[in-house]
Amino acid sequence: MRTIHVVAGVLRDRRARVLLAQRPPGKPHAGLWEFPGGKVEPGETAHQALARELDEELGIEVDAARPLIAIPSGRIVLDVWDVPAWSGRLHAREGQALAWVELAAIDAANMPPADRPVLAALRLPSEYLITPTIDGVDAQTYLAALERALAAGVRLVQLRACDPSRERIAALARAARAICVRHGALLVLNGDWQLAEVLGLDGAHLPAAVAAKLAQRPLPAHRWLGVSCHDADELAHAARIGADFATLSPVLATASHPTARPLGWTQMRALIENAALPVYALGGLEPADVATARMHGAQGIAAIRGLWKS
């Protein structure tokens, strides 16, 4: 079965709104909204196809573009590019409806399934802090380190609190949540999605073993759901149960798992190319590795030591 390669572009206006185009009557998913683009023709590169499609559909010239995420969906691979610079008078050359929409206001339910992970990728930051456990550290010292990490720019945090007492975890999560809200950051709780929902956190992150026991998404759509993955099967299962993003590890050697065999950048890229959701590279990484991770298809990096400000 031949794969259909489709490119799409994410364009923003001066107010940081995103351009969406409505699919016309008579086509699959008619009436839904998508990122503008179209099929890659034989002999074209993805970048050449993107430039041609945006000229044909919108009358603009692409001045700069970089790969954002590629989503396999049945026979189709949706190859999405961020287009930070373009020129020309943008208009609907094919009569399609266009709309500039605030990113936070876009409803994923009004988009084709393949576009929904793209929306997640646009809303997620490039750095994902996984906190160390609180063992041997008092709560105030722990929260002060979290505050420093957020002050340094972290905007997505996974709280790991290995404590048998749900009450103590809940107290720590409430305090961490207050700090995250002040900094405009998201907070997800490791493992316990029921507690995350009760506390009104932004979501949960599930270990692979926990996710493997689930047949469907355990959280409502307005909560974030992440899954820890280590191979293609786990990435596929994460997408199947409706996870919003995943981590993939270990990419490089790490002191916390010295016996684990690192994937390396090449193998990581191959795994991410077949993943149907945004993926953070994890394992031995620091902020300086974000550009390399993104060049290899990742959403960015996840890290403990590399992002924690103890």
Which amino acid makes up residue 90?
L
Q: Which residue has the higher pLDDT, 300 or 166?
A: 300
* pLDDT tens readout for residues 80-115: 999 999 999 999 999 999 999 999 999 999 999 999
| Average pLDDT, integer, range 178-192 | 97
* pLDDT tens readout for residues 194-228: 999 999 999 999 999 999 999 999 999 999 999 99
57 pLDDT higher than 80? yes
- Please measure the distance between the N-terminal and C-terminal CA atoms of the chain and give it in whole angstroms: 52
155 pLDDT higher than 70? yes
| Average pLDDT, integer, range 255-271 | 88
